[in-house]
């Protein structure tokens, strides 16, 4: 009886071991770690970092017109210069009366154009006039009237603006030497707009240089005096620095700012002594321009 039992147990154990050996896959799966699942490649859009538009240096502006949107960035720029630039780009007439123009720093993005003009002109009485375009017959901005002008004055201003535009266009059609001579002649034009436009274009050499320095100190128009500061930046004649220093007491803060910015551009470190008193000037724009120039020159 014991023998039979022993044989049965032996056979049972043998069968169990044989069964285990005959299916080794299960043991291998348990002993081998699972392989990591590699996900399919995921295509992701590149991250685009927002880019900020660079702000122009002091005395400069940047105007962009695109799909009805207007972007205006100006750093201590004479308002009338800024408006004239915008009028040229957007092709409308700018008519202005006796306005106390200032130097401004603005960052405007608006749609449509008259919204940007509204921000620029919020401190002045103004009127925006629309008229049909000659080609498309669609209503477009035709002219902007700033200040209080009578009907007679508006008509006269339109005629003057049209004549000035034609004159400047004719000058641009001349050779380089011809342009220089024509602009020198226009420095004595009775019209403020023409004198200012000519002052910006004249090369400050020879007799033209002395005309510009004289206009900087004596021309009755702040717009013209500011325009001469632009021209004097284009020379290394020490007399230009001397003239710009002499204009610092100008009664118009916008002119003073223009002179300070030109001195900064010319980079003469000795002018810091003349700029330091400007830090206590009554006008905030003058104080700011002086501080920037001193920091740049030191």
Q: What is the pLDDT along the chain (298 residues), one digit of tens a residue?
A: 444 444 343 444 444 444 444 444 444 444 455 555 555 555 555 555 555 667 888 788 899 998 888 999 998 888 988 998 898 888 888 888 778 888 889 999 998 888 999 999 998 999 888 888 777 878 888 889 898 877 787 788 788 888 888 898 899 999 999 999 999 999 999 999 899 999 999 999 999 999 999 999 999 999 999 999 999 999 989 999 999 999 999 999 999 999 999 999 999 999 999 999 999 999 999 999 999 999 999 8
Residue-level pLDDT at 49: 54
Q: To 5 degrees, how large is the angle CA 101–CA 278–CA 83?
A: 20
CATH architecture of 61-149: 3-Layer(bab) Sandwich (3.55)
Report residue 52: phi and psi, to 5°: -90, 140
Beta bridge partners of 128: 144
Q: Specify the domain boundaries for CATH 3.55.50 within the chain.
A: 61-149
Non-local (6+) Cβ contacts of 171 within 8 A are 178, 179, 182, 183, 186
- The pLDDT assigned to 53 comes to 64
pLDDT at 8: 40
Going from the C-alpha of 219 to that of each of 1, 81, 101, 244, the distances in angstroms are 139, 17, 16, 14
The answer to whether 248 and 223 have CB atoms below 8 angstroms apart is no
Please identify which residue in the block is written with the tokens 């005959």.
22
- The gap between the terminal CA atoms of the chain, to the nearest Å, is 117
* Beta bridge partner(s), residue 61: 74
Domain 202-297 sits in CATH at 1.25.10.10
- Rounded-to-integer distance, Cα 212 and Cα 203, Å: 10
Handedness of CA 68, 164, 201, 214 (dihedral sign): negative
Residue 237: what are its φ and ψ, rounded to 5°? -70, 125
SS3 content of the chain, % helix, strand, coil (to 5): 55, 15, 30
Compute the radius of gyration of the chain from its Cα atoms. 38
pTM across the whole model? 0.68
pLDDT score, position 152? 80
Nearest Cα neighbor of 292 from 109, 81, 53, 60 is 60
Cα–Cα distances in angstroms (integers) from residue 264 to residues 22, 23, 261, in the given order: 94, 91, 5
The rounded distance, in Å, linking the Cα atoms of 130 and 128 is 7
| Torsion over CA: 120, 123, 124, 128 (sign) | positive
**Helix and strand totals (H; E) in the chain:** 13, 6
Contact present, 219 and 228 (Cβ < 8 Å)? yes
């Amino acid at each position: 009886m014991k023998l039979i039992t022993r044989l049965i147990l032996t056979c049972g154990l043998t069968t169990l071991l044989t069964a285990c050996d005959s299916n080794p896959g299960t043991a291998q799966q348990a002993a081998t770690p699972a392989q990591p699942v590699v996900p399919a490649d995921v295509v992701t859009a590149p991250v685009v970092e927002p880019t900020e538009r660079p702000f122009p240096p002091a005395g400069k502006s940047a105007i962009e017109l695109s799909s009805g949107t207007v972007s205006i960035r100006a750093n201590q720029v004479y308002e009338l210069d800024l408006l004239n630039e915008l009028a040229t780009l957007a092709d409308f007439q700018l008519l202005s009366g006796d306005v106390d123009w200032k130097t401004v720093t603005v960052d405007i993005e608006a749609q449509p154009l008259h919204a940007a003009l509204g921000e620029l002109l919020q401190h002045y009485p103004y009127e925006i006039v629309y008229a049909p375009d000659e080609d498309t017959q669609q209503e477009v901005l035709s002219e902007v009237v700033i200040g209080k002008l009578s009907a007679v004055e508006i008509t006269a201003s339109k005629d003057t603006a049209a004549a000035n535009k034609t004159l400047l266009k004719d000058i641009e059609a001349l050779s380089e030497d011809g342009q220089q001579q024509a602009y020198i002649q226009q420095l004595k034009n009775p019209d403020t707009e023409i004198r200012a436009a000519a002052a910006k274009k004249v090369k400050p050499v020879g007799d033209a240089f002395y005309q510009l320095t004289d206009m900087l100190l004596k021309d009755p128009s702040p717009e013209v005096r500011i325009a001469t500061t632009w021209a004097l930046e284009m020379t290394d004649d020490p007399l230009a620095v001397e003239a710009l220093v002499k204009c610092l007491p100008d009664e118009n803060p916008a002119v003073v700012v223009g002179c300070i910015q030109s001195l900064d551009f010319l980079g003469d470190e000795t002018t810091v002594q003349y700029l330091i008193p400007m830090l206590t000037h009554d006008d905030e724009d003058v104080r700011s321009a002086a501080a920037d120039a001193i920091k740049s020159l030191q």
